[in-house]
Structure 1
Amino acid sequence: MKCFKRLLSAGLALAMTLTLAACGTTSGENAGQDTASSEPVRIATKPMTEQYILGEMLGLLIEQAGYDVEITKGVGGGTSNIQPAMEAGEFDLYPEYTSSGWVLVLDHQAEGVDDEAMFTQLQEEYEENFGMTWVGMYGFNNTFTVAVRGDIAEQYGLEDTSDLAAVAGELTFGGNPDYIEREDGFGALCQTYGLEFGDVVDIDIGLKYQALAGGDIDVTNAFTTDAQLANPDTDLVTLADDKHLQVNYFCSTVVRQDALEKFPSLEDVLLQMDGILTDQEMASLNYQVEVEGLDEQDVARDFLTQKGLLEA
């Protein structure tokens, strides 16, 4: 029986070592594989629903290829703790976002960089500096967007973020404090699009959509794969970023080069994730887990099966 262990933690990535050691594998149970395959492929994820689902997808596909899998879920600090743990060999791979790696790991400026050029340079610099690479591009882009109530969008004919400029004075913007305070957040949005809202309120990230639905606010910041954007009971419209303010956060797999050597078919498995998810599909999967209460592994398995990537 393969070890598919999903570990929950909000602590530092390096503190996962003892927990990971508790998940053993049985040598020789995968007939025909090389001896290295008796070791598990170790996956880490950030502490967010989307990452939990992606981690399960990766785990299911890797397990189908005959390898054992260990998944450490919810590593506190995300990139800032997973990256050094990857460098130390604590994990083999994890789902990461292009601009996060570009800015947080490589310390580059994201603005004005072509997405294709960024991905190529990410691969080159990760290989040169860390002995890692990026494999595949899942397809969706989890970046900032502006969401408004459907009735507001219809009333004022809002389609692009630029359309807000003429009517912002009549609207209330509600955003979570870190977005309002961050340099590339609310201030950059208002400056780029010439927005002066009638009122601006701080609101907890978990209450934004409830406040929108209740009419307490009219506009909020969102991420393009937020679960509530897929809620059929919520009438919301996201506005196009027509002045291209936001940088892109495409998701891919960061993997250690030695893991690709240790597990010969791993790269081919990871490439199965290439282009399989749209923004809307990722939001829908997040909704199934966050709102409908489904198990993330079940959601991941059903999606991969529907895509023909997983045997029923």
Structure 2
Amino acid sequence: MIRLRAFLAVLVVLAVVGCGLVSSSGSFRHATLPDGDAPLDGAALTVTSKSFTEGVLLGKITATYLAAAGADVTDMTGAPGAAPSRQAMVNGDADVIWEYTGTAWVTYHGMTETIADPTELWERVRDIERQEYDLIWLPPANFDNTYAFAASARTAERLGVRSLDDVAALPVADRTFCVDDEFFSRPDGFVPMLETYGIPYNTPDGVPAGNVTRMDAGVVYTSTAASSPCNFGMVYTTDGRIRNLDLRVLDDDRDFFLPYSGTAVVRGEVLAAHPAIADLLGALSERLTDDVMRELNGRVDIDGEEPSDVAYDWLRNEGLVE
């Protein structure tokens, strides 16, 4: 199934990329480095991203910062769908993107082995991508946008849960879940997760089918916050709604979920010509955490701010640009 998805993604690429890689999210704010230095003076770089909020934000942060360092940056953030931005990197039509280790492992390379250690997974992806595409996966940032389960703060306290092992120890009647159809059906999704935690799906002593409500992914968050019809809902760990709705993310004690470490990726030819890119993107990576991404994502998705403004404000507040 994973390999079929990867094949279908290639078909989408062939259908869409011929129309050209276009930005759907405007441009970025112009700035300079605090010391007035321009280590990328003379570099012409194209920054791309996928179209979801976090991808666009990371693209805007990167475009703003590399331009502040002197590069002539073409902003191709917000490419519609995941396939065009990926193919642009492979084809050499774009130079920099933020990607996720889990996405590369499962979607781009069709791997089925679960590697729980984030560093090991990054190393495996790094080596494959360098060898096959000359794409350089720099050391990952300090955020992991993977799957998780969460509960409202009130429910977590009432039931005394901090982790999925705690959920497995609850009475059957309290093991109620909200998930979307895609996660329910994934070969690395809901049903295998329950088996890993010893509470198999559709069994009287595990998680009866009636304890699971399948719904749109966006509704999962509000239903989890209301603790109705479920105590626990599937979330993405850097989603801004976690902060806004006061949800508590549960620990994955048994390391079931594959890491999706956010990582800046640069074409090898470009990095060789402009090695300063590595240090600049490293300065971003060391500052980007789960909490930071939740806050930035929330400013866009909940507060309605423009990604380019949020990116510039964060860079300025971190003292990286002025």
Of 178, 191, 200, the residue aligned with 2:212 is: 200
Match of 2:240 among 227, 230, 254: 227
* Further displaced range: 149-158 or 256-265: 256-265
State the TM-score, normalized to the length of structure 2.
0.81
Distance 1:284 1:179 in 2: 25
Runs of 5+ in structure 2 lacking a partner? 1-12, 28-36, 200-205
**Partner SS for 1:207:** helix
Q: CA 1:302–1:167 in 2, change beyond 3 Å: closer, same or farther?
A: farther
Q: Which residue of 1 aligns with 2:297?
A: 286
Q: Decide whether aligned partners of structure 1 residues 13 and 251 sit closer, same or farther in structure 2, where only a CA change above 3 A counts.
A: farther
Query: Residues 263-282 of structure 1: matches in 2 within 5 Å?
Result: 263-282=274-293
Residues in 1 aligned to 2:77 and 2:38: alpha-carbon distance in whole angstroms: 30
Deviations 1:26-62 (A, max 9, x none): xxxxx9989953x3x1111112111111001101110
Pairing 1:1-312 to 2, within 5 Å after superposition: 12-17=16-21, 37=43, 39=44, 41-78=45-82, 80-112=83-115, 114-165=117-168, 166-193=170-197, 194=199, 195-197=206-208, 198-217=210-229, 218-231=231-244, 234-311=245-322
Q: Deviations over 1:39-89 (max 9, x none)?
A: 3x11111121111110011011100111121222333331x4333221211
| Structure 1 stretches lacking a partner, 5+ long | 1-9, 24-30
| CA contact 1:136–1:273 (8 Å) conserved in 2 | no
Q: CA deviation at 1:266?
A: 2.3
Letter in 2 for 1:258: E
Identical amino acids, percent of aligned pairs: 27
Q: Distance in 1 between matches of 2:315 and 2:183?
A: 33
The Cα shift of 1:139 comes to 1.0
Let me know the Cα RMSD of the aligned residues: 2.7
What is the match of residue 4 of structure 1? none
Task: Work out the CA distance in 1 between the residues paired with 2:166 and 2:302.
Answer: 31
Q: TM-score, normalised by structure 1?
A: 0.83
**Would the aligned equivalents of 2:145 and 2:236 in 1 still touch at CA under 8 Å?**
yes
Distance in 1 (alpha carbons) for counterparts of 2:163 and 2:39 = 53
Q: What is the CA deviation profile of residues 230-250 of structure 1, one whole-angstrom value per residue up to 9, with x for unaligned ones?
A: 11xx23221111111111111
**Matched residues in 1 for 2:40 and 2:311: separation?**
28
- Pick closer, same or farther for the CA change 1:226–1:111 going to 2, 3 Å: same
Please state whether the residue corresponding to 1:109 is helix, strand or coil: coil
Assess, with a 3 A threshold, how the Cα gap between structure 1 residues 277 and 172 changes in structure 2: closer, same or farther.
Answer: same
2:38 & 2:153 partners in 1: Cα distance?
Answer: 57
The 8 Å contact of residues 138 and 276 in structure 1, kept in 2 or not, is answered as yes
